[in-house]
């Protein structure tokens, strides 16, 4: 009798459990469920243009664009993924000519394939912020262009590349990402190309937008944006590299105690068309750097003052003396990004006031 009671109890418990399972709400929103075959065609198309970097640098050989896409779990729930291999090298190995070719490839793709929702670009993280800003100044579409990478390679424990790729695809497919310029997506966060910088050599949360904060986040249910990009950027930029074969040489010099000005002179003598000074504080130089700057200006070389501090603005000067006539104030751009803007500016003009305007607007 006691055994029969136990069996009956087990049966009732099982029935109750099945009843609860049937009415329990799905813990995942509809957006996370696999799309039915008949709705696949309605999903947005997003193309990956792979350039290489740590995200593909597997031990024994680099992952191809196709291998990167096939490694993304659940990608078919969100988009119809496409891919192409642009190159497969470390970010530091990309040349300026390849930057131009990449921008032109993106522009051609978006212009010819009007139904494409957006583009994802893989990059190594070491110079990712530079590639992203160059594209932010040269992409001529308001459709999303998203740069992703990873801090760990595919052979490392905790490789986050597939997760970053999935989030990059989702951001590129989201209509709310349009008109925000080139976006950088890693570690569940969205940052604008202009502001983002790599802040740590190893940590996964290395990409940050300094004091301005993230642009948005990639959560399980949806993409959330918290602010807008007000500076001119992709889709609104005046720079067109479709007929540019190479970029003028622009170098960066850091200020430090007792810094010699002959370094600046040497760069001028070796063909630099512009020099960016990563100055101390709000634009201070040291040693004999001012002599080097005067030498550069006398030779017709533009000099842009930025700060090495990582944040803060170098305001435009009102003086127009001969020693400052070719000096440009870099506003709040990081030195590596001021270099990119100056290179592009020099493809359009040699008017100092026009270049200063560009540094104010971008």
Closest CA to 299 of 328, 333, 334, 275: 275
**What is the tens place of the pLDDT at every residue in 336-359?**
999 999 999 999 999 999 999 999
**54, 122, 197, 255: the active-site residue:** 54
Q: What is the pLDDT of residue 316?
A: 73
Identical fold, 31-225 and 250-361: yes
Per-residue pLDDT tens digits for 263-289? 999 999 999 999 999 999 999 999 999
> Nearest Cα to 231, choosing from 302, 100, 133?
133
What tens digit of pLDDT does each residue of 277-336 get? 999 999 999 999 999 999 999 999 999 999 999 999 998 765 445 556 799 999 999 999
Place 75 in a pLDDT band, splitting at 50, 70 and 90.
very high
Q: Which tokens sit at 58? A: 């597997």
Residue with tokens 């329990």: 24
Q: Where do the structural domains in the chain lie, given as residue ranges?
A: 31-225, 250-361
Topology classification of domain 31-225: Rossmann fold (3.40.50)
Residue 54 is a catalytic residue: yes
Percent of the chain predicted with pLDDT > 70: 87
Fold of 250-361: Rossmann fold (3.40.50)
Predicted structure pTM score: 0.88
Please tell me the distance from the alpha carbon of residue 283 to that of residue 277, in angstroms, as a whole number.
Answer: 8
């Amino acid at each position: 009798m006691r055994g029969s009671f136990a069996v009956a109890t087990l049966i009732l418990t099982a029935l109750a459990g099945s009843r609860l399972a049937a009415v329990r709400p799905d813990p995942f929103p509809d957006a996370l469920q696999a799309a039915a075959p008949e709705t696949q065609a309605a999903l947005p198309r997003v193309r990956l243009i792979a350039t290489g970097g740590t995200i593909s640098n597997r031990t024994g050989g680099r992952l191809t664009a196709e291998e990167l896409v096939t490694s993304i779990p659940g990608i078919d729930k969100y988009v119809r993924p496409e891919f192409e291999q642009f190159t497969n090298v470390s970010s530091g190995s990309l040349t300026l000519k390849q930057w131009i070719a990449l921008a032109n490839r993106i522009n051609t793709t978006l212009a010819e394939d009007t139904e494409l929702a957006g583009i994802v670009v893989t990059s190594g993280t070491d110079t990712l912020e530079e590639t992203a800003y160059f594209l932010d100044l040269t992409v001529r579409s308001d459709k999303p262009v998203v740069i992703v990478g990873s801090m760990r390679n595919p052979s490392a424990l905790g490789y986050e590349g597939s997760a970053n790729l999935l989030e990059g695809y989702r951001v590129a497919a989201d209509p709310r990402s349009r008109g925000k310029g080139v976006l950088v997506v890693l570690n569940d966060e969205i940052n604008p190309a202009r502001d983002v910088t790599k802040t740590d050599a190893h940590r996964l949360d290395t990409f940050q937008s300094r004091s301005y904060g993230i642009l948005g986040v990639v959560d399980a249910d949806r993409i959330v944006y918290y602010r807008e990009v007000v500076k001119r950027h992709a889709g609104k930029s005046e720079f067109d590299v479709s007929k540019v074969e190479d970029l003028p040489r622009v170098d960066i010099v850091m200020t430090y105690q007792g810094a010699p000005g002959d370094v600046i002179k040497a760069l001028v003598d070796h063909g630099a068309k512009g020099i960016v000074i990563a100055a101390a504080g709000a634009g201070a130089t040291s040693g004999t750097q001012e002599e080097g700057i005067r030498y550069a200006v006398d030779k017709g070389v533009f000099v842009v003052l930025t700060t090495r501090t990582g944040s803060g603005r170098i305001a435009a000067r009102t003086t127009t003396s001969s020693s400052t006539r070719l000096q440009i104030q870099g506003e709040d751009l990081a030195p590596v990004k001021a270099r990119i803007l100056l290179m592009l500016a020099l493809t359009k003009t040699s008017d100092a006031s026009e270049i200063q305007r560009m540094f104010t607007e971008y």
